[in-house]
Amino acid sequence: MKPLTTIYWLRVILGIVAGLVSAVLAFSQDPTLPYTLVNSITAALAVYIITYYILKVKFKNVVEKPSKIALMGIGMYFFTWLASFVLFYTILRTVVI
């Protein structure tokens, strides 16, 4: 597999993981508080930024432009994060309560 394809699919998988982490974080807080969603978005951004630096170290010599590491799969990451966040949060709210 090409390096950019690997980065893309890693971002998809990390979006699902970040959605699970965000859902657990949001579930552990009071849902009526306004910062619950903000904390979930912050968790997703933190996962993205941390993994960006890890991927940058691993793929900086393989990719022709270092900026492609940051941009490859960013849309799919946040789309899968949002979809998995809603799914996991709904499951947690319906099963636990």
Confidence check: pLDDT of 37 > 90: no
% of the chain residues with pLDDT over 70: 99
Distances, alpha carbon 90 to alpha carbons 16, 32, 75, 94, in Å: 15, 15, 23, 6
Q: Which residue has the higher pLDDT, 86 or 67?
A: 86
Average pLDDT, the chain: 91
pTM: 0.89
Confidence check: pLDDT of 87 > 90: yes
Confidence check: pLDDT of 13 > 90: yes
pLDDT, position 97: 65
% of the chain residues with pLDDT over 90: 63
CB 20 within 8 A of CB 89: no
Tokens representing 7 are 């980065």
